[in-house]
Amino acid sequence: MAAPARLADILQVDPSKVHISADGAVSFDPTAEGGQCQAALLRAAELLNSNQPVAIPTETVYGLAASARSSDAVRSIYAAKNRPADNPLIVHVGSIQQLDSLLKGDPIPAAYRPLIDRCWPGPLTILLRNKQEYGICPEVSAGQPTFAVRMPVHPVARALMILSGLPLAAPSANASTRPSPTLASHVFEDLKYQIPLILDGGPCDVGVESTVVNGLVSPPLLLRPGGYSLEEIRQLGGTSWQDVVVGKATAQADEKVQTPGMKYKHYSPTAKVVLFSTSTDPEGYLSEVSDAAKVIVLRTQRFPETIDRANVTVENLGATGKEISRNLFAALRHADEVGADLVLVEGTDESNEGLAVMNRLRKAASLII
């Protein structure tokens, strides 16, 4: 009989004890906590350099990181997540210096400069043309001539990329189709037998994945809404981004895609999710639901604060776009934790953070009304 798989280790890392200078040098507080962070990151770097995956905190969601230079390492990501192989990954770098080294001296297209100056490090991903000499393994881009790259703001993630000396491919650290993880405990729930190590850097601040843009075409495209809103891209990107076009949210089954999140079902709990895109009457829908079903109602502003049915619990996602984004995935996961059969979610306006929220909810929902 085969031995049971080993549980993933979880190591605490305090982001406030990790520091990165303007020239990309990493340092740690000269305290016990700083030493603990350094030891955890060095262990993670050792695993990454032996082509093993590690779960890491970022400001958006927890990522499942592995060397973007190794086909074996990247395949381990796909295997751990049970992720379709034609769903590309994002490459993460810890500094501009690391990206310059990756690009072998090739310049970053001028269209991206205003965004990079204002949005990096942060939840913004850009598309670049790929070259064989960059050394990015083909599994990262899923056969596309471009690859996606970003520099996260989270000091633990950035420090690990610098200390390991590796650009890291890192999708969300969840089982494929599940809600993205915003806590280390979410990662452990999904992948505890699939990976060796989880770095616990606390809750994620943004709560949805990065915004992905393509500045290689005219007009430029917003391929995936995320941590930066469409309005912010237009404001921060200068004249080149004033006419940015929002790309289609979902690709066809046989269509090749340049960025994650455009194919397949995503972000879904086990419970059935009903998105109220235009309707604001959950009680009308509930009149047709059995009293035996356990129901979670996720409200923002218009749904009632209480519903007088014993099988229904009303929970607040938040009043602002940032709060809703931060709480969304954790709320969907909580529905499974309490054994809910049905989740009714109040939709939100699609301006600012609402575009990313509604993008995720449409992919999670079994029914939209």
pLDDT score, position 253? 44
The residue extents of the domains of the chain are: 9-246, 272-368
pLDDT of residue 1: 36
Note the pLDDT of residue 3: 45
- Residue 355's φ and ψ, nearest 5 degrees, are -65, -45
Tens digits of residue pLDDT in 86-113: 889 999 999 999 999 999 999 999 999 9
List pLDDT tens digits, range 50-90: 999 999 999 999 999 999 999 999 999 999 999 887 889 99
Average pLDDT of the residues of the chain: 93
What is the C-alpha to C-alpha distance for residues 108 and 99, in angstroms, rounded to an integer? 9
Q: Which residue ranges are tagged as binding site for ATP?
A: 83, 87, 146, 172, 180, 224, 267
Lowest mean pLDDT among 15-29, 32-46, 261-275, 296-310: 261-275
Annotated binding-site positions for L-threonine: 60, 92, 150, 170, 210
The per-residue pLDDT for 251 is 44
Q: pTM for this structure?
A: 0.92
Q: Which residues are annotated as a binding site?
A: 60, 83, 87, 92, 146, 150, 170, 172, 180, 210, 224, 267
Question: Could you tell me whether strands 367-368 and 124-129 are parallel, antiparallel, or unpaired per DSSP bridges?
Answer: unpaired
Q: Is the pLDDT of residue 149 over 90?
A: yes
DSSP character at residue 118: H
Alpha helices in 60-183 (DSSP H): 71-81, 96-102, 113-119, 138-141, 155-164
pLDDT tens profile 218-248: 999 999 999 999 999 999 999 989 999 998 6
Distance (Å, rounded) from C-alpha 311 to C-alpha 307? Answer: 10
Task: Label residue 259 by pLDDT band (50, 70, 90).
Answer: low
| Contact indicator for 261, 172 with CB cutoff of 8 Å | no
Domain 9-246 has CATH 3.90.870.10: yes
**CA neighbor of 149 nearest in space, from 213, 87, 208, 71:** 213
Question: What pLDDT sits at residue 254?
Answer: 45
Exposed e or buried b per residue across 100-116, where buried means at least 16 C-beta atoms within 10 angstroms of its C-beta: eebbeeeebeebbebbb
User: Per-residue pLDDT tens for 114-135?
Assistant: 999 999 999 999 999 999 999 9
What percent of the chain clears pLDDT 70, i.e. is strictly above it?
94
Q: Span 272-368: which CATH code? A: 3.40.50.11030
Percent of the chain topping pLDDT 90: 88
